[in-house]
Structure 1
Amino acid sequence: MHCFPKFESMDIQEISSAQKAFFKTHKTKSIKFRKMYLEKLKEIITQNEELLYKAIEKDFGKSRFDTFTTELSFVLKDIDYYIKNLKTLSKPQKVSTNLANQIGKSLIYPEPLGCILVIGAWNYPYQLSLSPLVAALAAGNCCILKPSEIAENTMEAMAKIINENFPSEYVYVYKGGINETTDLLKLRFDKIFFTGSTKIGKIVYKAAAENLTPVTLELGGKSPVIITKEANLEVSAKRIVWGKFLNAGQTCVAPDYLVIEESVKEQFLEMLRKYIKEFKYEPGSEQYTRIINQRNFQRLIQLIQKDKVYFGGNYSEEKLYIEPTILTDIEWKDPVMEEEIFGPILPVISFTHYNQMINTITELEKPLAAYLFTNNPEEKEIFKQKISFGGGCINDVVMHLSNDHLPFGGVGNSGIGHYHGKYGFETFSHQKSILERVTWGEPNIKYPPYSDKKLKWIKKLL
């Protein structure tokens, strides 16, 4: 396996220019070339698994189990998907040709966009950096990856394994913080893929607009989870506790707040308490991570209203640990409902009229995810028809991400565009339309001089 240490000394402008030049050689369009490097990426991830585990453990105490199930398994599965389906995804699609263009044939050719910038997020640093990178490479592009500097050790790990094993004119991991990201956004790319907050997403979008660069923005929002009296409460509680407190709530599609029918509220709260205790979410445990840094820790503890704590509320600044916390008697105007929580705090709001509650949620910004627990067909239909959200589940949370056949992305304030599976390939491709016609047998109907008779025939044809 070859190494490429010489590129460490190059600045980002040189690397960007080198990628543009390399893309123009058309080598990345070869399916054989793409598969070779996808297989190589899988190989170096597997070979460096221990390095990746140690890096993320240093950043925020994530266990090997959670790192594999929520990070590396996604990336490896994406690589396998594209290796298996690349020939089919890259194949020109034949479509019907209208009467006016006969005799001819019409095809759509998926072609790579060119040079891509992927800006990853810190909360799932491997998955949210490497999965879009995999899709970009599968589609035949060159790519600069900028992982989040907040998870510093994982950034260093990704830079090491990729920059030492891939030519920088094809793939490069650029390290650094806000200044380095700002420098990147001054460059011209053929596509920018960003995962992060809505606030930073707007900055990326504005910078991209200077060069008319298309963007995919994977953002966030306040994702609701709704429980009605028609739900299986035991199963609902177990799944919600797992999905909410996975990664200490630092998950973009985690249930942000819980809305529950008043008649089953007390019963359900007890079930939530039971599963939080059963899952042993304790400092330093295999099941739980710490908050990523002091800034996020301080922001989160300000959201814990002591007089509304039903369960939890304890924390350790030294360990950056916040106990899974349930807040009750929450109102829509409370501070904890004003921003995405992104931590292990679950506000609970009760309702008595389902349709009225649904209407209230529809007045809020469109969330990245939404979840409903019920066995009532009418309630399911109202949820699907009335609430706009990126993606979600009925009778589960978070798990829609694990299905390659479902697109993942936001809508409105929660994002633009989507990826995963074939949708990732399409995100990093241009659908080029080509009409090919024969050079014989063409009537003169469209050519001057015009006449009423020609117009009559044109109306029939068109």
Structure 2
Amino acid sequence: MTLQYTSPSAIPKIVADLRASFRTHHTHSLEFRKGQLRALQHGLEEFHDEFAVAFEADLHRSSDMDVSKVEHTIQGTLDKLDEMTADQETSGLNEFDKSFVHLSPLGTVLVIGAWNFPVLLTLGPLIGALASGNTCVVKPSEVSEHSSAALTRMLVKFMDPTVVQVVNGGPEETTVLLKERFDHIFYTGNTLVGKIVMEAASKHLTPVTLELGGKCPAFITENTDIAAAAQRIAYWKTWNTGQVCLAVDYVLCPKNLQEALIKNVIGTWHELFGKDFRNSDSYGRIVSKKQFDRISKLLVAAEEQNKIVFGGKSEAGNLYVEPTIVTKVTERDELMQSELFAPILPIITYETFDEALNIINGQEHPLSVNLFSDNQDQINRVLKETRSGAVNVNDIAASVTNESLPFGGVGHSGMGSYHGKYSIETFSHPRSVMIRNQAHL
């Protein structure tokens, strides 16, 4: 079933109706919020098989991780919602006063999802919006059209239409949507569109959360367990065919460890997918012809410079790009000019720790710096001397799986965060309440 776009002329009324609905205050009740979250749970259960088919069509991969992660997030939110939304008492001006911070829902919010994880990165923010008592417009990505069509059908069937409405479309529909006034906009995607979203939001002084990406490095040091590091790097580089904001975008490696790193990365890929990547049931595809063409240009440039040491093959007919390793990479190479979002692994060798830090700091702030080291001084220097959304030590992107930590970027990798209690904070206003005792004024 194809994705049906929303008529641009219908969008203003959709937003106006949700704003009017919020003003009835029926979303404020915790029991009502929990009811919406449970409805979302039931929808995921019923649409499990439909999502499986849609993900195979869009990305040539399973939907299990996306769906199970969202289910886990919903249950975790239900279990802790009372605690996460409770008033936070503070000290008054005297013993007779009462003061506290009350988390108030923001109002009507907009969630713009992403195509690489079309369920997880759309419903993840929606869970926070609903749990905080907001009404919400959901805009799934038109790129993952089969998954977005299934997601639309599920939300229409299971969500209260006075609370959640879906708008589908491309740039035209999104442009119309962004002209409307929202109380918060949550966008997941690339930096270019992030700037457009932020500019549109500024006209209404609307706060934004931007979950973007960037060039996340894997930083190999002399005391790294190369086999363990290579296994994690290889997995994240080819998970969802490299179309992951937290995937390793490049590796910083001491020259004497490069050969061992390459050998172990290739070995891990063969363990994951066998010798024939193209015919592996577990190796995905690029999401669209547009993205395939972009990646192909990068491969051609690397091949012309004789820098590909493994892989490099591609087939436009089925949007296949082979896992690829590129060496002799410098900061000036085209591979280092923007986020790859592809199964291409550039390796930059370095001589000193200071040189490696300078390379990281020569890029825009990434979503994550992934350091492989047990040296506390090196860990401290990365924490002190670099900027990133997160730091992972001896792993890749482990922080994103920990719901007790905020997930978000800094600078060009984004602003704001969510997950766990941080989702509630993102979609709520911490309202200061001061109650004076008249008898003791």
TM-score by length of 1: 0.91
Task: Report the Cα distance in structure 1 between the residues aligned to 2:438 and 2:60, rounded to whole angstroms.
Answer: 68
> Which residue does 1:273 correspond to in 2?
266
SS at match of 1:409: coil
Task: Report the Cα distance in structure 2 between the residues aligned to 1:10 and 1:36, rounded to whole angstroms.
Answer: 31
1:175 deviates by 1.3
Q: 1:25-174 residue pairs with structure 2 within 5 A?
A: 25-63=24-62, 67-69=63-65, 71-98=66-93, 103-174=96-167
> Which residue does 2:316 correspond to in 1?
317
1:382 deviates by 1.1
> Which residue does 2:246 correspond to in 1?
253
1:379 deviates by 1.4
CA displacement, residues 368-399 of structure 1 (integer Å, 9 cap, x when unaligned): 11101122222111112211100131111122
CA displacement, residues 394-434 of structure 1 (integer Å, 9 cap, x when unaligned): 11112221110010000011101000000001100000001
> Which residue does 2:22 correspond to in 1?
23
Within the candidate set 234, 237, 242, 2:235 is matched to 242
Task: Report the Cα distance in structure 1 between the residues aligned to 2:369 and 2:217, rounded to whole angstroms.
Answer: 5
Within the candidate set 270, 275, 283, 1:288 is matched to 283
SS at match of 1:407: coil
**Aligned residue identity for 2:64:** F
1:287 deviates by 2.2
1:259 deviates by 0.5
1:267 deviates by 1.6
The aligned length equals 430
Task: Report the Cα distance in structure 2 between the residues aligned to 1:286 and 1:46, rounded to whole angstroms.
Answer: 24
SS at match of 1:318: helix
* 1:61–1:284 contact (8 Å) kept in structure 2: no
2:292 counterpart of 1:303: no
Task: Report the Cα distance in structure 2 between the residues aligned to 1:255 and 1:170, rounded to whole angstroms.
Answer: 38
**Aligned residue identity for 2:319:** L
1:8 deviates by 10
**Aligned residue identity for 2:384:** Q
> Which residue does 1:207 correspond to in 2?
200
**Aligned residue identity for 1:68:** D
* 1:311–1:326 contact (8 Å) kept in structure 2: yes
CA displacement, residues 337-366 of structure 1 (integer Å, 9 cap, x when unaligned): 111100000100001101222123123210
Task: Report the Cα distance in structure 2 between the residues aligned to 1:277 and 1:291, rounded to whole angstroms.
Answer: 20
* 2:230–2:265 contact (8 Å) kept in structure 1: yes
**Aligned residue identity for 2:13:** E
Task: Report the Cα distance in structure 1 between the residues aligned to 2:105 and 2:307, rounded to whole angstroms.
Answer: 53
Task: Report the Cα distance in structure 2 between the residues aligned to 1:32 and 1:425, rounded to whole angstroms.
Answer: 16
Could you list the structure 1 runs, at least 4 aligned residues long, displaced by more than 6 angstroms after superposition. Answer: 7-10
- Which protein shows a greater Rg? 1
> Which residue does 1:221 correspond to in 2?
214
Q: 1:404-443 residue pairs with structure 2 within 5 A?
A: 404-442=403-441
CA displacement, residues 431-462 of structure 1 (integer Å, 9 cap, x when unaligned): 000111111334xxxxxxxxxxxxxxxxxxxx
Task: Report the Cα distance in structure 2 between the residues aligned to 1:56 and 1:180, rounded to whole angstroms.
Answer: 24
Stretch moving more, 376-385 or 337-346: 376-385
1:284 deviates by 4.9
**Aligned residue identity for 2:295:** L
1:286 deviates by 3.1
**Aligned residue identity for 1:122:** W
**Aligned residue identity for 1:212:** L
* 1:255–1:370 contact (8 Å) kept in structure 2: no
2:193 counterpart of 1:197: no
* 1:62–1:288 contact (8 Å) kept in structure 2: yes
* 1:283–1:319 contact (8 Å) kept in structure 2: no
**Aligned residue identity for 2:110:** L
Unpaired runs of 5+ residues, structure 2, are 1-5
Task: Report the Cα distance in structure 1 between the residues aligned to 2:64 and 2:310, rounded to whole angstroms.
Answer: 30
**Aligned residue identity for 1:234:** A
Within the candidate set 171, 176, 184, 1:183 is matched to 176
Task: Report the Cα distance in structure 1 between the residues aligned to 2:334 and 2:81, rounded to whole angstroms.
Answer: 48
SS at match of 1:144: strand
SS at match of 1:107: strand
1:229 deviates by 1.5
> Which residue does 2:377 correspond to in 1?
378
SS at match of 1:188: coil
Task: Report the Cα distance in structure 1 between the residues aligned to 2:8 and 2:377, rounded to whole angstroms.
Answer: 62
Unpaired runs of 5+ residues, structure 1, are 1-6, 443-462
Task: Report the Cα distance in structure 1 between the residues aligned to 2:39 and 2:266, rounded to whole angstroms.
Answer: 46
> Which residue does 1:455 correspond to in 2?
none
* 1:283–1:290 contact (8 Å) kept in structure 2: no
> Which residue does 2:335 correspond to in 1?
336
1:226 deviates by 0.6
* 1:390–1:411 contact (8 Å) kept in structure 2: yes
**Aligned residue identity for 2:76:** Y
**Aligned residue identity for 1:76:** E
* 2:220–2:251 contact (8 Å) kept in structure 1: yes
SS at match of 2:244: coil
TM-score by length of 2: 0.95
1:80 deviates by 0.5
Task: Give the 3 Å change call, closer, same or farther, for CA 32–10 of structure 1 in structure 2.
Answer: farther
Task: Report the Cα distance in structure 2 between the residues aligned to 1:122 and 1:189, rounded to whole angstroms.
Answer: 23
Task: Report the Cα distance in structure 2 between the residues aligned to 1:398 and 1:324, rounded to whole angstroms.
Answer: 20
> Which residue does 2:3 correspond to in 1?
none
Task: Report the Cα distance in structure 2 between the residues aligned to 1:319 and 1:295, rounded to whole angstroms.
Answer: 13
**Aligned residue identity for 1:422:** K
**Aligned residue identity for 1:263:** N
Task: Report the Cα distance in structure 2 between the residues aligned to 1:313 and 1:198, rounded to whole angstroms.
Answer: 27
